[in-house]
């Protein structure tokens, strides 16, 4: 069944607008009486399409869908990489359940985002995450945070804080993930990796460095590897 994120709720109905309205009416061509899921304020509702207007669709709530979801907050601090690979990271991180995504400009970043372009970039990235959340039937969209332009500005309140670094061989990931925690932050560098001085800054902030095996992973692979390992270890 199709899912849609909605922002307008009135008693027991939702109004679906803009691109989602177009998708319902002109792409998948649903009709009055058919059912959809509406997601509002991280709650999923089973709804029935009641009417179509010029640019809106009216859906009536049938029931709230209760789901047994383990709540673990995963914050991803990740170096910005080339657009196609970056879009891939956003999409897959969303599918895997990341809570917040912090784009970071490390000293070795190949890609640099000008401040005047940041707002448009974040809007586009949020749209990518929204589409991935709908496809994966998530009840929330990851929050895309403002770009962090210096590693010293990274601050985490998570219970577990990890920085993946290719120079590390002695810190087994499994052992670090066996601890009990409800929140975790992970830092992944860009194509050129993280400079040792930046790693030192993160260590002073309470992060623990961790290796991801014997092979050197691409930036986009490292992100998904670590998120997947967290999900597997915590059975989520």
Supply the pLDDT for residue 99. 95
Contact status, residue 118 vs residue 144, Cβ threshold 8 Å: no
User: Of 13, 34, 65, which one is at a domain's C-terminal end?
Assistant: 65
Domain match, 93 and 148 both? yes
Give the DSSP letter string of 19-71: HHHHIIIIIS---TT-EEEEEETTEEEEEEEEEE-SSEEEEEEEEEE------
Supply the pLDDT for residue 176. 82
Q: How far is CA 144 from CA 121, 149, 204, in A?
A: 10, 15, 25
81-105 residues labelled b (16+ CB within 10 A) or e (exposed) = beeebbbbbbbbbbbbbbbebbbbb
Residue 136's domain comprises 73-234
- The domain total for the chain is 2
Supply the pLDDT for residue 68. 67
Q: How far is CA 76 from CA 36, 54, 59, 171, in A?
A: 31, 40, 35, 20
Contact status, residue 110 vs residue 190, Cβ threshold 8 Å: yes
Domain match, 82 and 16 both? no
The CATH number of whichever domain residue 177 belongs to comes to 3.40.1280.10
How much is the pTM? 0.84
Domain match, 113 and 186 both? yes
Q: How far is CA 107 from CA 123, 168, 176, 194, 207, in A?
A: 24, 19, 27, 8, 18
Domain match, 141 and 53 both? no
Average pLDDT per block of 10 residues along the chain, 236 residues long: 88 90 91 93 91 92 82 93 95 95 94 93 95 89 96 94 83 79 94 92 94 83 92 78
CA 117 to chain centre: 21
Contact status, residue 202 vs residue 163, Cβ threshold 8 Å: yes
Domain match, 80 and 173 both? yes
Supply the pLDDT for residue 69. 67
CA angle, corner 203, sides to 235 and 98, nearest 5? 30
Domain match, 202 and 163 both? yes
φ, ψ of residue 44 to 5 degrees: the values are -100, 130
Domain match, 116 and 196 both? yes
Domain match, 107 and 170 both? yes
Pairing verdict, β 56-65 and 73-79: unpaired
Supply the pLDDT for residue 161. 95
Supply the pLDDT for residue 71. 76
Q: Which residues pair with 45 in a beta bridge?
A: 38, 64
Supply the pLDDT for residue 106. 94
- Measured between alpha carbons, how far is 40 from 203 in angstroms, rounded to an integer? 38
Residues contacting 117, CB < 8 A, separation 6+: none
Domain match, 186 and 113 both? yes
């Amino acid at each position: 069944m199709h899912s849609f994120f909605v922002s307008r709720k009135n008693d027991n109905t939702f109004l679906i607008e803009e691109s989602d309205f177009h998708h319902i009416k002109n792409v998948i061509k649903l009709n009055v009486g058919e059912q959809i899921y509406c997601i509002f304020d991280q709650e999923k509702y089973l709804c029935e399409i009641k009417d179509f207007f010029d640019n809106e669709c009216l859906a009536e709530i049938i029931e709230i869908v209760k789901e047994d979801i383990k709540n673990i907050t995963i914050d991803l601090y990740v170096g910005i990489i080339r657009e196609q690979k970056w879009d891939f990271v956003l999409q897959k991180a969303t599918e895997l359940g990341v809570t917040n995504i912090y784009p970071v400009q490390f000293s070795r970043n190949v890609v640099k985002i000008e401040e005047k372009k940041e707002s448009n970039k974040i809007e586009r990235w949020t749209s990518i995450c929204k589409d991935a959340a709908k496809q994966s039937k998530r009840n929330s969209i990851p929050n895309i945070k403002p770009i962090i332009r210096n590693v010293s500005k990274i601050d985490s309140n998570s219970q577990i804080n990890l920085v993946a670094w290719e120079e590390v061989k002695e810190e087994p990931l499994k052992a670090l993930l066996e601890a009990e925690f409800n929140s975790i932050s992970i830092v992944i560098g860009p194509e050129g990796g993280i400079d040792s001085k930046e790693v030192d800054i993160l260590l002073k902030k309470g992060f623990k460095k961790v290796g991801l095996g014997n092979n050197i992973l691409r930036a986009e692979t490292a992100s998904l590897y670590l998120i997947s390992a967290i999900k597997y270890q915590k059975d989520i």
